[in-house]
Chains A and B, each alone.
Chain A
Amino acid sequence: MPKIMSLDELKSLRDNVKNKVDLREKGENVDEMVVIRVAMATCGIASGARDIMNYFADLIREENVNNIVITQSGCMGYCYAEPTVEVTLPGEEPVVYGHVTKEKAKEILDKHIKSGEMVDGIIPVAHKSIDE
Chain B
Amino acid sequence: MSKYTMHILVCGGTGCISAQSNEIVEQLMFHINEANMSEEVQVLKTGCFGFCEKGPVVKILPDNTFYVQVTPEDAEELVKEHIVKGRKVERLLYVDPTTEEVVSDSKHMDFYKKQMRVALRNCGFIDPDNIEEYIARDGYAALGMALGMTQQEVIDEVKKSGLRGRGGGGFPTGLKWEFAYKNKADQKYVVCNADEGDPGAFMDRSILEGDPHSVVEAMAICGYAIGATKGLVYIRAEYPLAIKRLEKAINDAREYGLLGKDILGSGLEFDIEIKFGAGAFVCGEETALIHSMEGMRGEPTTKPPFPAESGYWEKPTNVNNVETFANIPVIFLKGADWFASIGTEKSKGTKVFALAGKINNVGLIEVPMGITLREVIYDIGGGIKDGKKFKAVQTGGPSGGCLTEKDLDTPIDFDNLLAKGSMMGSGGMIVMDEDNCMPAVAKFYLEFTEEESCGKCTPCRVGTKRLLELLEKITHGKGTMEDVDVLRELSQVIKDTALCGLGQTAPNPILSTLDVFYDEYIAHIKDKKCPAGECSALLQYIINDKCIGCTACARVCPVNCITGTVKQMHVVDQEKCIKCGACMDKCKFKAIIKQ
Q: What is the bound-complex CA distance between A88 and B86, given in angstroms?
A: 15
Chain B window 16-49, contacts with chain A (Cβ cutoff 8 Å), 1 for yes, 0 for no: 0000000000000000000001001000000000
Among the stretches B69-77, B234-242, B252-260, B481-489, the one at the interface with A is B252-260
Among the stretches A24-32, A95-103, A106-114, A116-124, the one at the interface with B is A24-32
Contact A28 B144 (CB under 8 A): no
Contact A27 B40 (CB under 8 A): no
Contact B2 A71 (CB under 8 A): no
Q: What is the bound-complex CA distance between A18 and B134, given in angstroms?
A: 10
Q: What is the bound-complex CA distance between A1 and B130, given in angstroms?
A: 13
Q: Is there a chain A Cβ closer than 8 Å to B88's Cβ?
A: yes
Please judge, given known A-B contacts A11-B141, A74-B85, A74-B86, whether A20 and B264 are in contact too, CB under 8 Å.
no
Q: What is the bound-complex CA distance between A10 and B139, given in angstroms?
A: 9
Chain B interface, number of residues (Cβ within 8 angstroms): 43
Q: What is the bound-complex CA distance between A74 and B86, given in angstroms?
A: 5
Among the stretches B5-13, B277-285, B287-295, B410-418, the one at the interface with A is B5-13
Please judge, given known A-B contacts A4-B264, A5-B265, A21-B125, whether A131 and B147 are in contact too, CB under 8 Å.
no
Chain A interface, number of residues (Cβ within 8 angstroms): 44
In chain B, positions 231-251 with a C-beta closer than 8 Å to chain A are none
Contact A24 B7 (CB under 8 A): yes
Contact B63 A71 (CB under 8 A): yes
Please judge, given known A-B contacts A1-B256, A10-B135, whether A28 and B140 are in contact too, CB under 8 Å.
no
Instruction: Quote the shortest CB–CB distance from A73 to chain B (angstroms).
Output: 4
Contact A131 B138 (CB under 8 A): no
| Nearest A-chain residue to B63, judged by Cβ | A30
Please judge, given known A-B contacts A17-B133, A33-B62, whether A7 and B264 are in contact too, CB under 8 Å.
yes
| Nearest A-chain residue to B261, judged by Cβ | A3
Contact B2 A72 (CB under 8 A): no
- What is the interface of chain B mostly: helix, strand, loop, or mixed? loop
* Interfacial chain A residues near B141, Cβ < 8 Å: 7, 10-11, 14
Please judge, given known A-B contacts A27-B63, A35-B62, A71-B63, whether A21 and B5 are in contact too, CB under 8 Å.
no
| Nearest A-chain residue to B258, judged by Cβ | A4
Out of B63, B130, B265, which one reaches A6, CB within 8 Å?
Answer: B265
Q: Is there a chain B Cβ closer than 8 Å to A85's Cβ?
A: no
In chain A, positions 18-51 with a C-beta closer than 8 Å to chain B are 18-24, 26-31, 33, 35, 37-38, 40-41
Out of B2, B86, B105, which one reaches A20, CB within 8 Å?
Answer: B2
Contact A17 B136 (CB under 8 A): yes
Out of B87, B136, B257, which one reaches A3, CB within 8 Å?
Answer: B257
* Interfacial chain B residues near A130, Cβ < 8 Å: 85-87
Out of B5, B6, B255, which one reaches A1, CB within 8 Å?
Answer: B255
In chain B, positions 133-174 with a C-beta closer than 8 Å to chain A are 133, 135-138, 140-141, 144-145, 147-148
Instruction: Quote the shortest CB–CB distance from A38 to chain B (angstroms).
Output: 8
Q: Is there a chain A Cβ closer than 8 Å to B64's Cβ?
A: yes
Contact A72 B264 (CB under 8 A): no
In chain B, positions 80-128 with a C-beta closer than 8 Å to chain A are 83-88, 105, 107, 125-126
* Interfacial chain A residues near B144, Cβ < 8 Å: 7, 10-11
Out of A1, A7, A21, A33, which one reaches B133, CB within 8 Å?
Answer: A21
Contact B133 A5 (CB under 8 A): no
Instruction: Quote the shortest CB–CB distance from A30 to chain B (angstroms).
Output: 5
Please judge, given known A-B contacts A24-B61, A73-B86, A74-B85, whether A57 and B3 are in contact too, CB under 8 Å.
yes
* Interfacial chain A residues near B130, Cβ < 8 Å: 20
| Nearest A-chain residue to B252, judged by Cβ | A1
Contact A14 B138 (CB under 8 A): yes
Contacts A72-B40, A74-B87 aside, 6 further interface pairs with beta carbons under 8 A come to: A13-B132, A21-B137, A69-B62, A71-B5, A72-B37, A130-B85
Q: Which residues of B contact A (CB under 8 A)?
A: 1-7, 9, 37, 40, 61-64, 83-88, 105, 107, 125-126, 130, 132-133, 135-138, 140-141, 144-145, 147-148, 255-258, 264-265
17 of the cross-chain contacts (CB-CB < 8 Å) are A3-B257, A7-B147, A7-B148, A9-B264, A10-B264, A11-B141, A14-B135, A17-B136, A23-B4, A23-B5, A24-B7, A27-B63, A30-B62, A53-B5, A72-B37, A74-B87, A131-B88
